[in-house]
Amino acid sequence: MKTISIWLDNPLNDATSFYVDLLEQSMSKAGFRTVRFSSPETASKADFVITLHAKATCQILRHNPRAKVITWYQGIVPEEAMLWQGKRLPNRMYKLAWELFEIVALRMSCLCVFVSDAMHVHYRQKYHFGPKAFQVIPCFNKALLPAAFNYGGKYTTPSFVYAGGLDRWQCIDEMLTLFAKIQKKIPAASLTILSSQQALALELLAKYSIQNGKVSYVPLAEVEHELQKYKYGFLLRAEHPINNVATPTKMNTYLSCGIIPIYTSAIRDFETRLGNLPYSIKAKHPLDEEVISSVIKNEKHVISAGDLLESYEAAFASYYSADKYIAELAEKIRKLS
């Protein structure tokens, strides 16, 4: 049995751990044994290596030019550098270095794993060539929780939730602006922010004069239990290449708990792959006031938990199906050997 080595050059979080487990299951289904390692020198004699970003691929190839490398692209690092770190000379050099890593990895990897179709399109348009072979697997780590759809009063109460950090790029100010306007139309609407940044969250609720606002923090292991209480969940992003190619796990978490997502079309794959979900609310941009009328329209109709569950089951059977991606990736791995 051939071995595929997985280089873990950074600690894994919940999302990446799930993803690496999925990759390992794909390798096993393809007839490979997998081992994890943390030093690039360890791969000097490996036949197959999986890396979790383009720079790691370049490092592996420096130690073992003959290795067949499978690269997972979690994000578009050059664009992230410019957005978050600014356009100073050191950052521009960092951007150029990562663009070189991407070019080498795209050309030299025997298989590339992207988190979205939009990411594949981004690389083809930017560098005017594509990888030899690729697989698209969105970011997700939760299975559907049918019991969450039957939480008492869930779909008869206009309860909103946001779970996550409060960084500017997550459009928190825009979310609160929209919710304040929703609340003027629907005074019973409530908003809960689940975040470890509780003091900042309270300041923001006060800044936007949010009534029925609540801030809480629950351990990661209890998030699903908490989220099942809410009807709507915010996931707003601005129009930017980083957001265009992303597939935030927040969507998977919301849907798994029966939450109706309020999200922006900037996230291209959600627009194309999840755009037909009933009751989901799509915004053209983070301050799109059509969201308000969509919520009001929703509130005038009785939502069937059974119908909603059925539609979400379809999404999990296709877009968020680990078994589906394991089988697809395994088939492509077999062709490499």
Domain locations in the chain? 3-138+321-336, 146-318
Helix (H) or strand (E) holding 105, with range, is helix 89-108
**Cβ atoms 139, 249 nearer than 8 A:** yes
Residue range 146-318 forms a domain whose CATH class is alpha beta
Query: Which architecture, in CATH terms, is 3-138+321-336?
Result: 3-Layer(aba) Sandwich (3.40)
The torsion defined by the Cα of 38, 135, 170 and 242, in degrees rounded to 10, comes to: 90
In the chain, what is the greatest distance between 2 CA atoms, to the nearest angstrom? 65
| pLDDT one-digit tens code per residue, 201-219 | 999 999 999 999 999 999 8
Q: What is the pLDDT of residue 212?
A: 94
- Residue 194 clears pLDDT 90, i.e. is over it: yes
Tokens, residue 333 = 């791995």
- In 33-188, which ranges are E strands? 33-37, 48-51, 68-73, 111-114, 134-136, 159-163
34 forms bridges with which residues in the sheet?
4
Q: Which range is least confidently modeled, 122-126, 178-182, 221-225, 295-299?
A: 221-225
Distances (CA, A) of 73 to 10, 116, 165, 285: 14, 10, 22, 26
- Residue 78 clears pLDDT 70, i.e. is over it: yes
- In 23-107, which ranges are E strands? 33-37, 48-51, 68-73
**Cβ atoms 9, 56 nearer than 8 A:** yes
Nearest of 185, 169, 181, 154 to residue 260 by alpha carbon = 154
Top pLDDT among 326 and 4 is at 326
Asked, colleague to colleague, whether 3-138+321-336 and 146-318 share their fold, the answer is yes
**Cβ atoms 32, 1 nearer than 8 A:** yes
For the chain, count helices (H), then strands (E): 14, 12
Nearest of 252, 244, 253, 232 to residue 296 by alpha carbon = 232
> What secondary structure letter does DSSP report for 259?
P
- Measure the CA–CA gap between 57 and 46, rounded to whole angstroms: 13
**What is the percentage of the chain residues whose pLDDT exceeds 70?**
98
Top pLDDT among 11 and 153 is at 153
Top pLDDT among 10 and 119 is at 119
Tokens, residue 53 = 């970003």
**Cβ atoms 5, 37 nearer than 8 A:** yes
**What is the percentage of the chain residues whose pLDDT exceeds 90?**
81
Give the helix ranges, DSSP H, for 198-304. 198-207, 223-227, 241-245, 249-256, 268-273, 290-299
